[in-house]
Amino acid sequence: MARRPDLVGLTVLAMLSLRPAHPYELHRFIVDTHKDYVTGLPRSLYHAVEKLAGQELIVPVETSRQGRRPERTVYEITGEGRRELATRLRALLESPGAERRTFTAAVSLMGVLPVPDALQSLRTRAASLEGALAGLNAHLDALRTSGLPEVLTVELDYERTLGEAELAWVRRLVARLDSGELTWSATLNEGLLADVLDEPGGAA
């Protein structure tokens, strides 16, 4: 059985690639930006931070305490962490899978990649979807030719419909990136993260 991707760890790496932060800030950002694919908060987040630190993908850079609040440790991503983030994220963008929540997470975080990298990964995904749909259509045609009642292949038609919808969406996204209608920069993303964290009620 294939291992499920670590979406919590991926999100931590993505956020820390924009600026150093402590886990409470990361928790607030995840909640405030409705990254609902991250489950098990806050325990899953602190576990991911501990695991990433153990792998030296992130490192502590500052520890502080304000008043009677718990001590907070600020982490930053390492060079190896940035490479791991790019590798994991490109893989999730490129490879269609059964769990659509994974692609939702990858699209949600793709702004930490350079636009050309994200564009190339999405083109790869589109090609994979096209191949999968061609194979599924051929399979359905063969089943119909064999005389199998259509009611026994309804689930395959459902799967095909979902695949066609995803392919159409990915193609539109590729076209927007290719034309420059949709674009981003690391500076912009860092500013967005800062804006969320600096809102009233944000992390102290």
How large is the average pLDDT for residues 138-162?
93
pLDDT in tens, 181-197: 999 985 555 555 555 55
Q: What is the pLDDT of residue 193?
A: 56
Which tokens hold the place of 105? 């997470």
113-117, 138-142, 183-187: which has the minimum mean pLDDT?
A: 183-187
Neighbours of 75 (CB within 10 A): 24
pLDDT in tens, 11-31: 999 999 999 999 999 999 999
Which tokens hold the place of 197? 């964290």
Mean of the per-residue pLDDT values of the chain: 88
Q: What is the pLDDT of residue 172?
A: 98
pTM attached to this predicted model: 0.84
pLDDT at 1 over 60: no
pLDDT in tens, 45-93: 999 999 999 999 999 998 876 666 677 899 999 999 999 999 999 999 9
Cis geometry, peptide bond prior to residue 116 (ω within 30 degrees of 0): no
CATH assignment, 7-197? 1.10.10.10
The number of angstroms, rounded, from the C-alpha of 111 to the middle of its chain's C-alpha atoms is 10
Helix or strand run (H / E) with residue 59: strand 58-64
Q: What is the pLDDT of residue 137?
A: 95
Cis geometry, peptide bond prior to residue 200 (ω within 30 degrees of 0): no
Residue ranges covered by each domain of the chain: 7-197
Q: What is the pLDDT of residue 201?
A: 46
